A and B are shown apart, each in its own frame.
Chain A
Amino acid sequence: MEKVKQKDLILYSGLIILGLAAPYLFSAFKVQLTYLCVLIVLAMTWNLQGGEMGYNSFGNILFYGLGMYLTASVQVGMFFPLAEWTESGGEKTFVHTTAQYFQGIGVGLLVSAIIPAIVAGAIGYAILGLRGHYFAICTLGLGIAAGEIAGGIEIIGAGQGFTTPPFPAEIVDVEARGKFFYFLSFFVLVLAFVFVKYIYGSRFRLILNAIRDNEDKAEAMGIQTMKYKIVGWMVSAFFCGLAGGIMGGLIGYIDSTDVAFDGREMGVFMVLMAILGGKGTLWGPIIGATLFHFFKEGLWTFILGWQYVALGVLIVVIVIYFPEGLMGWLREKYPERFGEVIDEKDRKSQVELK
């Protein structure tokens, strides 16, 4: 037992060192690395309720977009009138000082984590009473409705979009912006990983799995399923909001349907990444997100214009042929590695039967 722990320790410290050194090692890819961190966070937290709880949500994009708008609004609204900022549409009538920028983004991220979690808690009771595909369609509707409604609200820029505050010009170092966002996203990634890892070792995960496998039975065993479902969704919303806030600052421009509530990209990506890696495993979504990101970045530029066709075909192929994902496939191939004990006699007798 002690040996395994030591192996884990080496793995984790290795990964953290790699993560901290990455922006210096691959300094041209800082934006891509930030994307990767955000994608992993999204996939991992989607997996909490999609994979563990069995509630396949298409609507986590709602919290992502909400976080994005909240961070930017707080960052602007703390120091300047928000309506005038959005009306000028990116014209630099107001300029954040360095201190204002960092204070703003700090408070903004805090708000963008807490409010989506509260929203998830508030609508959770109504929405999580739906099961299976009704939940999936309902959350799909929620995500798109949010995008359409945000595109009609004047104070956050409506259809014109919302320019987030530019990185303070007083910082001369050109690398600073990339590094700042990378370390911010890496910190959130570590936070999310530690939290998810903690959940994986707790009773909470077992309850979520019970809900996934048979909700009626779980209820009959005396588990207040609704309470746990809501908490599970709130955890997802918390991290989705944070991820959205970071992405808003990184992209620098928020459009209601193409950046914030982007159900056609981010909303599908998080589901796809989790399924690609393997739903209901700790490492699956991480591996899935990494693979997907490499695939996307590597292929997108070669097939410019056709990327959505490739994405659609990829979804169909993954869903039909690899619904268990990479981890599921490995698990079938090497069950011993996953701690599953196989009765050799039983296995042989089954082979003979065939």
Chain B
Amino acid sequence: MDFLIFQAPMLMVQASLDGILLGILFALIAYGMALQWGVMNIINIAQGDLVILGGYIAYTMYLAGIHPAWGVIVSPILMYFVGWGLYKLVINKVVDRDLFISILATFGIAIVFQQLMNFIFGADVVVAQSEYGTTMLFDNSVTLPNSKIFSAFVSLAYAVALVVYMKKSRLGRAIRATAQNARAAKILGVDTEKVYAATFGINAALCGIAGALISITLTLHPYVGLPYTVRSFMIVIVAGLGNLPAVAISGMGLGLFEEFADYILGTEFRIGAVFMLLVFILVYRRFKLSKKREYLK
């Protein structure tokens, strides 16, 4: 335990800015999860591994001499097809079934992804250098990597674009209709099978963007996917399905929590703190609902 942070206001500003910028990135992943959860009623444990795979796509570009920031355009396109393929292979068989089956099946997919990434990209911790430099604030006492600012802006831009797309386009309308009532949508001529595939593809594409951003702001490793899944799950259960401002705010809240936990508890407990927060949030919601004799659905 280390409470030094509360005596140094500049450290707090640093942690807060870091947390908020990071949180926007988490919110983008969580938006993808909320989308598929709302439309297809599945919980995707492999979400984080899709993120990491997207990151490795950007990293591969970096190794090939292309600036990794282009990954935010290339990675979602490739990841869309990965998601689409995954849907056709496995996910379409778990859509209308018990949620536990989707959890376990996607857990299996997550293990396969982790191991394949380990074979292809190696087990080292890697990072793609964006060479964007850093911004100094408040008399050089707060340093912000420009790549983090860049990632927050790209995330926001994509999120806004997606919201507009979901509101205006034909596919977006079909997706929203399917989410409301899949059967009615089917009767009215929506090809739900196509909608599901597209939804999962869009989710994977969002993961791809987030992954490309993570490759330049944070680090990549084949086995760090699960924390991203848990973070996005947490954000979704706090914010609810399909409430974008709430998703953004709770994403930032999570980012803040993590940065402060990092300072106070020490970096070795960071991931542990994230998972404990998940447990606490669920238990808190459970006690709150049990007063009304209800439970989380």
Contacts and interface: CB of A to CB of B under 8 A. Distances in A.
Q: Are A and B genuine complex partners? A: yes
Interface of A: 56, 126-127, 129-134, 136-138, 140-142, 144-145, 148-149, 151-152, 158-159, 264, 268, 271, 275, 305-306, 308-309, 311-316, 319-320, 323
A131 B107 CA distance: 19
Contact of A152 (B99, B112, B272): B272
Given A127-B283, A133-B99, A148 B111 contact: no
Interface stretch (B75-83, B114-122, B129-137): B114-122
B240 interface: no
A130 B285 CA distance: 9
Top 4 closest A-B pairs, CB basis?
A315-B108, A148-B272, A312-B112, A145-B275
Contacts of B230: 137, 140-141, 144
Contacts of A149: 269, 272, 276
Contacts of B276: 141, 145, 149
23 contacts: A126-B287, A127-B279, A129-B290, A130-B295, A131-B296, A134-B237, A138-B282, A138-B283, A141-B279, A141-B282, A144-B226, A144-B275, A148-B272, A149-B269, A264-B111, A305-B119, A306-B115, A309-B115, A311-B108, A311-B111, A313-B108, A319-B105, A320-B94
Contacts of A131: 295-297
Nearest to A267: B107
B115 A312 contact: yes
Most B-side CB within 10 Å, residue of A144, A152, A319: A319
Nearest to A323: B101
A257 to B, nearest CB: 10
A141 B278 contact: yes
A272 to B, nearest CB: 8
Contacts of A158: 268
Contacts, number: 123
B145 interface: no
B99 A132 contact: yes
A315 B278 contact: no
Contact of B90 (A141, A305, A316): A316
B103 to A, nearest CB: 6
B272 A312 contact: no
Contacts of B269: 148-149, 152
B283 A126 contact: yes
A148 B261 CA distance: 14
A130 B101 contact: no
Interface in B205-243: 226, 230, 233, 237
Interface residues of B, number: 43
A222 B286 CA distance: 21
Given A129-B287, A130-B296, A132-B99, 4 more contacts: A131-B296, A138-B283, A152-B269, A323-B97
A306 B115 CA distance: 8
A151 B282 contact: no
Given A309-B116, A316-B109, A137 B100 contact: no
Contact of A142 (B111, B119, B279): B279
Interface in B263-289: 266, 268-269, 271-272, 275-276, 278-279, 282-283, 286-287
B287 A137 contact: no
A339 to B, nearest CB: 26
B183 interface: no
A145 B271 CA distance: 7
Contacts of A138: 278-279, 282-283
Interface string B34-51: 000000000100000000
B176 to A, nearest CB: 23
B112 A309 contact: yes
Nearest to B267: A152
A320 B287 contact: no
A308 B49 CA distance: 15
